[in-house]
Structure 1
Amino acid sequence: MNPNDSFSDSILSGFVNQAAFPSLDEYSPQLLTNSEEETVKSHIDQELRTCTSFTFAVAFISNAVLTDLKVQFADLASRNVSGKILTSTYLVFNQPKVFEELLKIPNVEVRILDQATNFHAKGYIFEQSDHTSIIIGSSNLTSNALIKNYEWNLQLSSKDKGALTQQIQFQIELQFKHAQSLTSEWIEKYRKYYVENELTQKSNSLTPFQQRSQSEILPNKMQKHALKELQSLRANHGKRGLIISATGTGKTYLGAFDVRNFAPKKFLFIVHREQILKNALASFRRVIGGAESDFGILSGNSKNTTSRYLFATIQSISRDENLRNFAKNEFDYILIDEAHKTGANSYQRVINYFHPDFLLGMTATPERTDDFNIYELFDHNVAYEIRLQEAIESDLLSQFHYIGITDYEYNGQSIEDNTPLRNLISEERMNYVEQQLNYYGYDGDKIHGLIFCSRKDEAQEIASIMTKKGNPTVALTSDDSISKREQVVDQFEKGIFNYIVTVDIFNEGIDIPKINQVVMLRNTTSSIIFIQQLGRGLRKAPNKNFVTIIDFIGNYKNNYLIPIALTGDNTRNKNNLRSKVAFNQTIGLSSINFSEIARERIFNAINNSNLTLLTMLRDSYTSLKNQIGRVPYLLDFQKLGSVDADVFINKYDNYHQFLLKMKDAESLSTTENGFLTLISREFSNGMRIHELLLLKKLLANEGTYSKNQFLKDLHNQKTYSDPKTIASMQNHLNLSYFLPNDRKRYGNSSFLKLNEVNYELNMKVVNLYNTHEYFKNLIDDALNIGFLKNHNFDLQVPLTLYQKYTRRHVNRLIGWPTDQSSAIYGYREKDGICPIFVTYHKDKNLPAGKSHNNVFFNSSTLSWFTKIPRKLDSGEVVRLFEGNYNDTIKLLLFVKKSDDEGSDFYFMGQVDFDFNTVEQQSRIVNGKEKPVVKVNLKLRTPVKYDLYLDLSN
């Protein structure tokens, strides 16, 4: 296959006739816009991953998107790849801060055109190994333009000698000659010019926080919704309610708005720390208004008990001598902040004593590590819930840019769980930390950084070292008094300290909106704590558009918790987690970025972890059971974003077996358990709707259903109903498809019969379904999971492009009459179909004869090898070649990146042999030369570009 022909066909497909010319995604011209599926920035990220050099010509640059790109620039620098950025002072948009950050990037040459040139270009050029990729259109180098705004950009490819490439290169060189080099001296001159244009500066840099009116406090979108739900809860005679709201989304103001609506005769606000009381009181007074005497504090330093709106620490209000000062019905509205702490004896004493008309709890993290059920305490009334990811997308919090980079390697050894203190605070490591903090920077005029480490002695040493390096830093630990902490925070907010180093005391209950850099110098041991610590920087503040999160990732076993925490993905599905790490993620205008080495460490942690340990699944089960107030089913897990149903089924065969472990199960007969296992293991994945639909119809019609009507039902579902598939469905339900071990697992009894006109379900199953409610619920649940998951698949074809399948799944879906998946190995031909399974990155420990070097030459061509020993005239090879040439054998390609990713393969569609590339080769196996045939596979549908990059890199 001539690569130049592929390139030409792609160009002609885009500009002349799409139907007449086959195209490759990496060469095809395409329009780039921002959508939920992809963004302009995602294409820039992809091009940067593989380029040999790059040039950006953009008028406007924002610090936020530059922070994101620094990770990739650093990775490129490690490969000696450099680039150029040509920008301008047009409209005085670019802040001096942006130029300061650009100057930090060693492998990027930056030049600036003066405003008088009216430079307003928006182009991105990437030199690849065999072509030039170009993105030109409307998007500047800003977060809004690359992620959010409706933009039009054309991405196209050109060869080095192409006229378009030469024109662009000429223009870039011409402008570079006239542009000024970026230097510290130039930045100082520009800063003065920028300040002189202060009005322009303000119009360009105002944050939503600054634009908001300060004269009147109005509910935000989240608060309006929550207030409506709280009112509805009370209208339905609810006496207790729980608000789950991410840190910084305005829980305190929400409480104040609801108290104003409720208009209590007397109100009690309970919090666990005294330093929060004054801020909470001030917020309530701003919303509610009234005399100063209406608001009082009950704490160690104040003994007010008579004010209408009383704000108390739990330590004070829970004392017997204080409780006895109040009647049990003294307060008609009680609000508990940080309600996840209510399992403590002090809280229980207060809650059990008072009888308010309404009790409200508010928390960002209702998950508990003990056995206390916070949901039960509040009558399972979750009035409103908004988690971190949704809050960021709704612009309730400050944007964040997470940077996951590798920690320092000391004498070639990575930082690990048991690394001694002397290595953690070594001069080499602290120099490395300082370099990274400076490189990735912060947003705003001055650094306000918070550093989390794992040990008190480490915190003290880090503070001392950083102070000596010119960054005034103080350490705070649990050894420090409340007054000391308050004093340090006050000094920090005034700019006396650049950094606070702490261990765990700032995980929650502290409000410092100015924080614009959060540094994680410790192992992630809990996704809850991770989010709490990240959340310290998410409050909005003047002159702060985003917070930079810099995570130093060592060689830790728990690194798999990072994507769980950042994305909120608690499915415990490794495929899901890997996909979250493979490419940079965006949440609204916030972003998640990993360096290449850090990404590899997280991949390794995911691959080596056991995410389905019984203790982990029990925690998830208990949490969901507490939340909904009953035994949860698989559908509850799936709909509420918790553990993926496949995890339970793959580990336990069916959900009943897991419920036995939880001691929440009734007994099932062998027939019941076998039928449930069959549905769970074979059909609940939703890959084929036929068995699900037939079973649903049979169970709803006392076990009998017309075959003709069923075929009409399939037609109405707009799915395929060829004889091979219908026969396969029947063989699955009468168990003739399965090998003896599976038939035994499913009860060794046929569940389906077909007479002349009707399908008939085993009547024993029908009777049990109608009389045993527990069994019925489990069967309905397994079927419903299948219908829900079926939305992920194309109903019109047996196999959906780019979905993942095991050999066992493929054997079933292509309609083979019996299960032969264990004998497929790399490929197997039967009944005119030959599935081919390719592991792209082979295990290095494989014997030489089995380690073929599969290579994607482009998104439409993959090298492939037959089994060993095979020659060109071997019967199997001749049959496959002739069958493909005559179109009597359909070749289906399935690819996975490595064996670390489990047994699932991406379906790449139908392929053909490129007969111009057939070669007879040989391999040395056990010291003997064995023949093998090599040939390229041509994909009828080119691999989508992001998947192509992921597999081939």
Structure 2
Amino acid sequence: METSQLHQHKLITNDQKNHVFAQNALQDELDICTDFFISVAFVTQSGLCFLKTHFADLARKGIRGRLMTSNYLGFNNPDVFRSLLEIENIDVRIVEKEGFHVKGYLFEQNGYHSLIIGSSNLTANALKKNIEWNVRLTSLENGEVLRESKKELERMWHEALPLTEKWVERYSKNWQSLTRDKLVTDVQDEKAIYSVARPNVMQEKALENLANLRSEGKNKGLVISATGTGKTYLSAFDVQQVNPSKMLFIVHREQILKSAIKTFKMVIGGADEDFGILSGNSKDITAKYLFATVQTISKPQILNLFSKNDFDYILIDEVHKAGAASYHKVIDYFDPKFLMGMTATPERTDIFNIFELFDYNIAYEIRLQEALEEDLLCPFHYFGVTDYEKDGVIIEETTNFENLVAEERVKFIIEKIQYYGVSRHKIRGLVFCSRKEEAKKLSEIFNNRGFYTAFLSGEDSISKREEVVERLENGELDYIFTVDIFNEGIDIPSVNQIIMLRNTQSSIIFIQQLGRGLRKHGSKDYVTIIDFIGNYKNNYMIPMALSGDMSYNKDSLRKGTFDTSYITGISSINFEAIAKERIYKAIDDVKLDSMKSIKDAYAKLKIRLNRVPMLVDFLEQKSIDPYLIVSGKVSNIKTYYDFLLKNDDAIGKISELENKYLMIISREFLTGVRKQDVLLLSEMVKGREFNRKEVKVLFQSYGLDAQERTIDSVLNTLNLNFFTGLLAETYSGGEIIEAGQNIQLSVGMKKALLRNSYFKLLLEDLLSASFIKSESYDKSRVFTLYKKYRRRDVIRLLNWDKQQIDQNIGGYIRKDDEFAIFITLKKGAEFSGAMMAYEDELLSPNLLKWYTKAPRTMSSPEVKAILDYYISGLNMHIFVKKSDDEGTDFYYLGKVEPQLNSIEEFHKPTNDGKTKSVVEMHLKFLEAVDYKLYRYLTNIE
């Protein structure tokens, strides 16, 4: 029997560098199992969080499982047993025996069993962080081992006690917390995170950079730091190292002042009278360290109490708000020796340029992913869950208010938030709603259901907000319902659950709201984020915000949804199956390459750089994929020059021919699919000329394929002989090189470079960007696994001398010993190329069912070539896309070999009621397809 990736035994470890974790192996097994049996000595709530969406999806399919754990050493917190009782499709039993230390995960799959056994308990550290060894075995290869394992598990199960509320209550009374306390010392309180004597890693680097700025004579500095990473502590450390005679700290909300003063006192020390507040209720204007609200200090009568150089050092918290008139009054009035600004989100939706305000002096920048890597934030578990659906109607932007607060939806929401739970079972939550009336009504309904909640809006006074927040922190409230007032500028470190009941309007707001729970605190081990995903057109922003990928590349967004292993540390990102499909649909439907999207990204980058961005800047600053600009999908934009011209930012003129050169190079090379083309052209632009031998040496010096046929293909592309049909017409006259005995730039290209420095600047930038893009491709292979390719890219990379028109290729093309197959899995009812019901199908990560074109028989040339596969040495390459909604390019899944005994000729009905002959066969992948991509392509959830 064939052994596929699903059936192979393998070693399972945690590999942080390559983002491969034991949790992924368990998730993959759960997603396709028909039954499961988990037996582990130790379980944590955070470990359960890795699997909860998968348990929920199994419950939706009617699949139950068993979990056996223990009271050994009192490791398991009573809270984890309460969490297990919330999972309705798992039966749980407890082994009350000393020395129970089993770690095994048994899964019943379609036609076989698999067992993961080794050192990993069901804890977050064991499944993602620790050095652990586990081995995966299957009944197809290790049948006797699995039979014995299953028999032993069944024996222990029958001797174990069922988990009940009564058992948990008894265990809680006897449970000793000493061991557990030791496990959480790193998050006991803020002093454990921000030592008065010792700044954290981020703060040390930022302090050094700030000191360097001042030594260079700069009097301004901007710190960009994710929420919860200790910006206030950083500012206090910097004030300590500067030691100003007087300091001013400006905030936009009065409730922040007291906590800021507390932080500064811890760091700087000194008498209480050195610290003063300037607000509506206090006027301590003589204090050495003055903490002021912008609303108060911006008043003319207050400003006039100070001289312009009264303060040596001024700090502005949440400085992205500095576009407001009140901030301008203060900033324009004072003349400090140093002005420091702090923000988590410098990119704004308004036109204010924060970077310009600080003379583009970015002292330090650390975003969410880096902060998690440095262990500066509380770990989080994000759950993208399916919002309420009734009679096929899903919550969306235009849903009536009555449906948002309907009895059934409220019940649905409560069930979900109880299922996904909170750290240590004591809720301190924030609920972000789409509308003010929704937040108010839901708060009322939750109170009637036994919760303790409050509603806050922008209309509430500062004192009321402070009073409600204090009640939440004291444990008097479970939730605060609101719309947008807690996006930023509020510090509630004990928050352990964020509920999102609204559409994601922007990635900035999404991260701000998620960030409300990311401060470390002794009362929690992690924060739970529950995002109710309805039928929203902006759902594509969710993977964008979580991954930090702002390329607007649809394939990157899809990958950020089906493969979330990019998240660092013991945090996790989890989507229920239906929620994923809603995100995929939003990605398919949105037009990310619109002029508006591109102009917005361009404007933000221009503001940040204080100059016209080049294509390389988009890549280096992790902004929009520059290929979107030049792909030809935006009206009348063929090159970056066209875009700059349209935005009045072109600093020179280029000719029509020069623009054609840029268009050809942009369209063909900016994808980065083959480095050789870009490398050779880059060297020639520097003034070099080559013969074939020198080209070969150049390619070899970079470790690139330098076969004669590859050199021919590169030259054939650069002199445009490769292109046919409409592309040949479009590119006509734009030959880039002349490839005779002497390989040199074309006459037109040489003249353009000599006479137009602006054209040369644009060309060199384009080639540099293309080179950077090519770095993501595997230079040891013709095609890089799981990258996407256009049909003409494939033909060019196979070194064929002429491009084939897409319509002529259809589903596949063969030449000599190369055979490229292009498959659209979801062809749709109007699949024009079929004329009949094609049923190409990925049967497993190892196997593809494939049909030839029609009419074809066993005597057709391509079928005969396949039948002679083991004699002819045919290379069969598979390129797949999920549907036409994904565009015109295909994922490369690798090489296959035909299963000769599966090749059969059939007669299939056509759309016009007739029949045509077609040949069906199974193709086996030489290297099993990545399982996450396989699941995405096949919709197996």
Which amino acid in the other structure matches residue 614 of structure 1?
M
Work out whether residues 719 and 739 of structure 2, in 8 Å CA contact, stay in contact via their aligned partners in 1: no
Work out whether residues 131 and 160 of structure 1, in 8 Å CA contact, stay in contact via their aligned partners in 2: no
What does the per-residue CA deviation read over 1:291-338, in whole Å, with 9 as the maximum and x for residues that have no partner? 111111111111222211111111111111111221111111111111
What is the CA–CA distance in structure 1 between the aligned matches of 2:592 and 2:75, rounded to whole Å?
48
Q: CA deviation at 1:726?
A: 1.4
What is the CA–CA distance in structure 2 between the aligned matches of 1:213 and 1:855, rounded to whole Å?
52
Which amino acid in the other structure matches residue 869 of structure 2?
N
Q: 2:764 aligns with which of 745, 757, 780?
A: 780
Identify which range, 778-787 or 578-587, moves more after superposition: 578-587
| Structure 2 spans left out of the alignment, 5+ residues | none
1:558 aligns with 2:538: yes
1:121 aligns with 2:102: yes
Work out whether residues 207 and 543 of structure 1, in 8 Å CA contact, stay in contact via their aligned partners in 2: no
Work out whether residues 547 and 560 of structure 2, in 8 Å CA contact, stay in contact via their aligned partners in 1: yes
Identify which range, 406-415 or 359-368, moves more after superposition: 406-415
Q: 2:78 aligns with which of 96, 104, 115?
A: 96
Say if 1:153 and 1:676 are closer, same or farther in 2 by CA, change over 3 A: same
What is the CA–CA distance in structure 2 between the aligned matches of 1:882 and 1:169, rounded to whole Å?
44
1:930 aligns with 2:909: no
What is the CA–CA distance in structure 2 between the aligned matches of 1:884 and 1:445, rounded to whole Å?
61
What is the CA–CA distance in structure 1 between the aligned matches of 2:813 and 2:930, rounded to whole Å?
26
Say if 1:320 and 1:88 are closer, same or farther in 2 by CA, change over 3 A: same
Q: CA deviation at 1:818?
A: 1.4
Work out whether residues 407 and 552 of structure 1, in 8 Å CA contact, stay in contact via their aligned partners in 2: yes
What is the CA–CA distance in structure 2 between the aligned matches of 1:497 and 1:792, rounded to whole Å?
50
| Structure 1 spans left out of the alignment, 5+ residues | 8-23
Which amino acid in the other structure matches residue 710 of structure 2?
T
Q: CA deviation at 1:201?
A: 3.1
TM-score by length of 1: 0.95
Q: CA deviation at 1:51?
A: 0.7
What is the CA–CA distance in structure 2 between the aligned matches of 1:133 and 1:638, rounded to whole Å?
43
Which amino acid in the other structure matches residue 792 of structure 1?
S
Work out whether residues 562 and 933 of structure 2, in 8 Å CA contact, stay in contact via their aligned partners in 1: no
Identify which range, 928-937 or 357-366, moves more after superposition: 928-937
Say if 1:684 and 1:302 are closer, same or farther in 2 by CA, change over 3 A: same
Work out whether residues 406 and 553 of structure 1, in 8 Å CA contact, stay in contact via their aligned partners in 2: yes
Which amino acid in the other structure matches residue 166 of structure 1?
R
Identify which range, 773-782 or 328-337, moves more after superposition: 773-782
1:63 aligns with 2:45: yes
Q: Secondary structure at the match of 1:477?
A: coil
Work out whether residues 126 and 132 of structure 2, in 8 Å CA contact, stay in contact via their aligned partners in 1: yes
Q: 2:736 aligns with which of 729, 739, 751?
A: 751
User: Counterparts of 1:150-161 in structure 2 under 5 Å?
Assistant: 150-159=131-140
Work out whether residues 837 and 909 of structure 2, in 8 Å CA contact, stay in contact via their aligned partners in 1: no
The equivalent residue for 2:871 is 886
Q: CA deviation at 1:760?
A: 1.3
What is the CA–CA distance in structure 2 between the aligned matches of 1:227 and 1:313, rounded to whole Å?
25
Q: Secondary structure at the match of 2:881?
A: strand
Work out whether residues 50 and 124 of structure 2, in 8 Å CA contact, stay in contact via their aligned partners in 1: no
1:854 aligns with 2:840: yes
What is the CA–CA distance in structure 2 between the aligned matches of 1:562 and 1:216, rounded to whole Å?
37
Q: 1:108 aligns with which of 75, 90, 110?
A: 90
What is the CA–CA distance in structure 2 between the aligned matches of 1:837 and 1:370, rounded to whole Å?
45
Say if 1:834 and 1:871 are closer, same or farther in 2 by CA, change over 3 A: same
What is the CA–CA distance in structure 2 between the aligned matches of 1:687 and 1:946, rounded to whole Å?
23
Which amino acid in the other structure matches residue 163 of structure 1?
E
Q: CA deviation at 1:207?
A: 4.1
The equivalent residue for 2:427 is 447
Q: CA deviation at 1:809?
A: 1.0
What is the CA–CA distance in structure 2 between the aligned matches of 1:342 and 1:607, rounded to whole Å?
37
Q: 2:776 aligns with which of 792, 795, 798?
A: 792
What does the per-residue CA deviation read over 1:757-807, in whole Å, with 9 as the maximum and x for residues that have no partner? x21112432343244332222111111122212222222332223322121
Identify which range, 920-929 or 168-177, moves more after superposition: 920-929
The equivalent residue for 2:932 is 946
Q: CA deviation at 1:888?
A: 5.6
User: Counterparts of 1:151-230 in structure 2 under 5 Å?
Assistant: 151-159=132-140, 162-194=143-175, 197-210=176-189, 212=192, 216-230=196-210
What is the CA–CA distance in structure 2 between the aligned matches of 1:79 and 1:662, rounded to whole Å?
53
Say if 1:566 and 1:881 are closer, same or farther in 2 by CA, change over 3 A: closer
The equivalent residue for 2:353 is 373
Which amino acid in the other structure matches residue 694 of structure 2?
Q
What does the per-residue CA deviation read over 1:599-629, in whole Å, with 9 as the maximum and x for residues that have no partner? 0000000110111222222121111111121
1:865 aligns with 2:846: no
Identify which range, 257-266 or 775-784, moves more after superposition: 775-784
What is the CA–CA distance in structure 2 between the aligned matches of 1:370 and 1:902, rounded to whole Å?
32
Say if 1:213 and 1:875 are closer, same or farther in 2 by CA, change over 3 A: closer
What is the CA–CA distance in structure 1 between the aligned matches of 2:795 and 2:761, rounded to whole Å?
30
What does the per-residue CA deviation read over 1:817-873, in whole Å, with 9 as the maximum and x for residues that have no partner? 111041211012223322111122332554774432223333332111111122223
1:836 aligns with 2:821: yes
1:240 aligns with 2:220: yes
Q: Secondary structure at the match of 2:690?
A: strand
The equivalent residue for 2:903 is 918
Work out whether residues 674 and 747 of structure 1, in 8 Å CA contact, stay in contact via their aligned partners in 2: no
What does the per-residue CA deviation read over 1:700-757, in whole Å, with 9 as the maximum and x for residues that have no partner? 22x523332221111222222222221211111111211253345445142212343x
What does the per-residue CA deviation read over 1:465-510, in whole Å, with 9 as the maximum and x for residues that have no partner? 0001000111001121111111111122112211110011111111
What is the CA–CA distance in structure 1 between the aligned matches of 2:195 and 2:753, rounded to whole Å?
64
Q: CA deviation at 1:203?
A: 2.2
What is the CA–CA distance in structure 1 between the aligned matches of 2:442 and 2:709, rounded to whole Å?
69
What is the CA–CA distance in structure 1 between the aligned matches of 2:580 and 2:218, rounded to whole Å?
47
Which amino acid in the other structure matches residue 700 of structure 1?
K
The equivalent residue for 2:560 is 580
What does the per-residue CA deviation read over 1:437-488, in whole Å, with 9 as the maximum and x for residues that have no partner? 1111101252111111011111111111000100011100112111111111
The equivalent residue for 2:701 is 716
The equivalent residue for 2:785 is 801
User: Counterparts of 1:267-416 in structure 2 under 5 Å?
Assistant: 267-416=247-396
Q: Secondary structure at the match of 2:812?
A: coil
The equivalent residue for 2:669 is 683
Q: CA deviation at 1:876?
A: 4.7
What is the CA–CA distance in structure 2 between the aligned matches of 1:924 and 1:317, rounded to whole Å?
80
Which amino acid in the other structure matches residue 107 of structure 1?
N
Which amino acid in the other structure matches residue 75 of structure 1?
D
Q: 1:513 aligns with which of 476, 484, 493?
A: 493
Q: CA deviation at 1:816?
A: 1.5
Which amino acid in the other structure matches residue 280 of structure 2?
G
Say if 1:209 and 1:674 are closer, same or farther in 2 by CA, change over 3 A: farther
What is the CA–CA distance in structure 2 between the aligned matches of 1:362 and 1:846, rounded to whole Å?
54
Work out whether residues 248 and 397 of structure 1, in 8 Å CA contact, stay in contact via their aligned partners in 2: yes
The equivalent residue for 1:761 is 745
Q: CA RMSD in A?
A: 1.8
The equivalent residue for 1:39 is 21
Q: Secondary structure at the match of 2:775?
A: helix
Which amino acid in the other structure matches residue 309 of structure 1?
Y
Q: CA deviation at 1:250?
A: 0.6
User: Counterparts of 1:412-423 in structure 2 under 5 Å?
Assistant: 412-423=392-403
The equivalent residue for 1:436 is 416
Say if 1:400 and 1:213 are closer, same or farther in 2 by CA, change over 3 A: closer
Say if 1:881 and 1:498 are closer, same or farther in 2 by CA, change over 3 A: closer
User: Counterparts of 1:585-596 in structure 2 under 5 Å?
Assistant: 585=565, 586-596=567-577
What is the CA–CA distance in structure 1 between the aligned matches of 2:241 and 2:63, rounded to whole Å?
61
Work out whether residues 194 and 200 of structure 2, in 8 Å CA contact, stay in contact via their aligned partners in 1: no
Which amino acid in the other structure matches residue 751 of structure 1?
I
